[in-house]
């Protein structure tokens, strides 16, 4: 069976995962592009700095030669008096500049050493002759004619720039492997972040979808928690608008079902009620006719008519009970103790019916059995089971009504032939009639459960309906427990409370 929550969660999870993967690919491309631009900019700045350092170093070399020449002149002319102080002043200025340039050269030297570890470069004069070569450069880059600007050649990112002032040019090259390492590091960091974010996103999707399905689950629980007779409409207050049409459709269906069942119950009740008076009148007339007839064929025929009318009256009464059972009107808000009702029923049977002397009450533990059925419901339920046992039990056998709080059961047991298991559960259906007789070997076959010429086939159906509304389980068993024959009706599992008196 498919699940909306599962489908929605899986679809959103796949969609978010694909979006994350797409976003990571796009981000990787953007990061790669930005890192390339940043690296090219850094390469250009480094080239200009190296070109400037080379120009300064060249100037310093020329000035150093001038200072050296002046120093030699001073040494050779120590015996003669200088013509003026201008020579001495120029010498001091040049010496000071040489000291400053030496300090600058030392700092730039360290800078160039750092550059040489990563980059390769060559500085050429206006004629193309190499003045300075630093770092590692492949031979092809030294001899190949490369246009100015950026280019990628043989695994290197190359930049060439010419200085208009110094008439020099520089070629600087950075291994692409170095750049790839930087790009790979950025992509690895992005991928690790993605591996963390995707499970968190999936967990968030599951949590959001689960929360969104809460309203659907509430409607489901509302329907499941109802009894079979509760056909009232479902509330649509504060319900998401997507669910309102569904709930309204269910409410319309419940309304039609309620009206149909109500019409059926009314028809059954009204029919049974309307038949009571003419049946009672016909029965009275028949009994008067029997009293006025002498013994003989006519009197016997009149008695058969009386029996038929009595059966019709009982069937009418059963139909009214069935209508009440199906309406669910026997459910009460206040729990009812069934034990006093059992005692009352047995006393009533003994006072009204001769065969009721066969009834025996066995209370294994003094107990109180509480149920949501009202007293009438409990009485109708138990009366149908006792009538069934009296009517179809073996002649002159004891009918046992057992109240046992340990397994929390009330049992009605009678003697009689065993009912085949294939027929046993079907006996709770309406108008089920299982005829008595003998099998091929002449053995007796059971005639049981509101069947035969005196049975309506409704007693156990009424008991099953009433028990179902109260949450009580009606179980039929043959042979009875602990016996080799007999029939047993067990009421269990639905009693609200069992307490010792």
Percent of the chain with pLDDT strictly greater than 90: 1
Global pTM? 0.51
Q: What is the mean pLDDT of residues 140-163?
A: 85
Domain ranges of the chain: 26-77+84-178, 218-261, 330-500
Residue 425: the pLDDT is: 77
Quickly name the fold that domain 26-77+84-178 has: Beta-Lactamase (3.30.450)
Same fold, 26-77+84-178 and 330-500: no
Nearest to 467 by CA among 384, 400, 393: 384
Please answer whether residues 90 and 74 qualify as being in contact, where contact means their C-beta atoms are separated by less than 8 angstroms.
no
Residue 213: the pLDDT is: 80
What phi-psi label fits residue 173: left (phi over 0), alpha (psi between -120 and 50 degrees) or beta?
beta
Residue 134, classified by CB atoms within 10 Å of its CB into exposed (0-12), middle (13-18) or buried (19+), is middle
In this model, does residue 452 exceed pLDDT 70?
no
Residue that the structure tokens 């059961």 belong to: 409
Q: What is the mean pLDDT of residues 384-392?
A: 86
> ∠ CA(180), CA(175), CA(38), 5° rounding?
60
Residue 58: the pLDDT is: 52
Least confident piece of the model among 152-166, 289-303, 318-332, 439-453: 439-453
Q: Could you please report the per-residue DSSP string of 75-136?
A: HHTSSSPPS-SHHHHHHHHHHHHHHHHHHHHHHHHHHHHHHHHH-EEEEE-TT--EEEEES-
Least confident piece of the model among 136-145, 319-328, 418-427: 319-328
Residue 365: the pLDDT is: 64
Least confident piece of the model among 42-46, 326-330, 435-439, 464-468: 435-439
Please answer whether residues 98 and 60 qualify as being in contact, where contact means their C-beta atoms are separated by less than 8 angstroms.
yes
Least confident piece of the model among 198-202, 272-276, 415-419, 442-446: 442-446
Please answer whether residues 137 and 158 qualify as being in contact, where contact means their C-beta atoms are separated by less than 8 angstroms.
no
pLDDT band, residue 437 (cuts 50/70/90): very low
Strands 359-363 and 399-404: parallel
Who has greater pLDDT, 371 or 227?
371
Please answer whether residues 330 and 373 qualify as being in contact, where contact means their C-beta atoms are separated by less than 8 angstroms.
yes
Residue 434: the pLDDT is: 58
Identify the DSSP state of 357: G
Who has greater pLDDT, 476 or 454?
476
pLDDT band, residue 308 (cuts 50/70/90): confident
Whole-number Å distance between alpha carbons of 124 and 51: 10
Residue 500: the pLDDT is: 42
In this model, does residue 20 exceed pLDDT 50?
yes
Residue 326: the pLDDT is: 75
Quickly name the fold that domain 330-500 has: Heat Shock Protein 90 (3.30.565)
Q: What is the mean pLDDT of residues 267-286?
A: 80
Who has greater pLDDT, 264 or 342?
342
pLDDT band, residue 499 (cuts 50/70/90): very low
Q: What is the mean pLDDT of residues 134-154?
A: 83
């Amino acid at each position: 069976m498919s699940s909306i929550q599962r489908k929605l969660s899986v679809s959103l999870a796949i969609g978010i995962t694909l979006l994350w993967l797409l976003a990571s690919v796009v981000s990787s491309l953007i990061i790669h592009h930005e890192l390339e631009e940043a690296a090219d900019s850094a390469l250009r700045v480094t080239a200009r700095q190296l070109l400037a350092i080379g120009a300064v170093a060249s100037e310093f070399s020329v000035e150093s030669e001038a200072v050296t020449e002046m120093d030699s002149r001073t040494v050779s002319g120590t015996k003669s008096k200088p013509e003026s102080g201008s020579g001495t002043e120029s010498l001091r200025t040049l010496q000071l500049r040489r000291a400053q340039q030496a300090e600058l050269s030392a700092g730039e030297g360290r800078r160039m050493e750092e550059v040489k570890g990563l980059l390769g470069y060559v500085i050429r004069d206006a004629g193309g002759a190499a003045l300075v070569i630093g770092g590692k450069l492949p031979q092809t880059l030294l001899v190949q004619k490369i246009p100015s600007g950026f280019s990628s050649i043989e695994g290197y990112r190359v930049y060439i720039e010419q200085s208009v002032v110094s008439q020099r040019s520089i070629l600087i090259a950075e291994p692409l492997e170095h750049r790839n390492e930087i790009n790979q590091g950025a992509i690895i960091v992005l991928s690790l972040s993605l591996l963390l974010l995707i499970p968190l996103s999936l967990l968030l999707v599951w949590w959001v979808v689960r929360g969104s399905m809460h309203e659907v689950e509430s409607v489901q629980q509302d329907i499941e928690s109802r009894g079979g007779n509760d056909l009232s409409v479902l509330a649509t207050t504060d319900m998401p608008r997507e669910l309102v049409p569904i709930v309204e459709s269910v409410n319309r269906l419940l309304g039609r079902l309620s009206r149909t069942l109500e019409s059926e119950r009314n028809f059954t009740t009204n029919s049974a009620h309307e038949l009571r008076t003419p049946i009672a009148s016909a029965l009275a007339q028949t009994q008067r006719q029997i009293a006025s007839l002498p013994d003989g064929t006519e009197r016997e025929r009149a008695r058969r008519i009386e029996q038929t009318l009595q059966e019709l009256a009982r069937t009418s009464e059963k139909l009214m009970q069935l209508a009440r059972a199906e309406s669910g009107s026997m459910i009460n808000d206040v729990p009812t103790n069934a034990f006093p009702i059992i005692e009352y029923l047995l006393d009533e049977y003994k006072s009204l019916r001769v065969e009721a002397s066969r009834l025996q009450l066995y209370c294994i533990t003094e107990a109180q059995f509480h149920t949501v059925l009202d007293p009438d419901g409990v009485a109708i339920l138990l009366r149908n089971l006792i009538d069934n046992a009296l009517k179809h039990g073996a002649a002159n056998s004891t009918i046992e009504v057992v109240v046992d709080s340990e397994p929390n059961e009330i049992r009605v047991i009678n003697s009689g032939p065993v009912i085949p298991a294939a027929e046993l559960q079907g006996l709770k259906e309406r108008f089920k009639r299982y005829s008595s007789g003998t099998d091929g070997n002449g053995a007796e076959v059971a005639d049981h459960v509101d069947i035969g010429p005196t049975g309506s086939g409704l007693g156990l159906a009424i008991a099953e309906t009433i028990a179902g509304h109260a949450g009580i389980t009606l179980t039929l068993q043959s042979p009875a427990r602990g016996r080799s024959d007999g029939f047993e009706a067990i009421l269990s599992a639905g009693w609200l409370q069992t307490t010792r008196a």
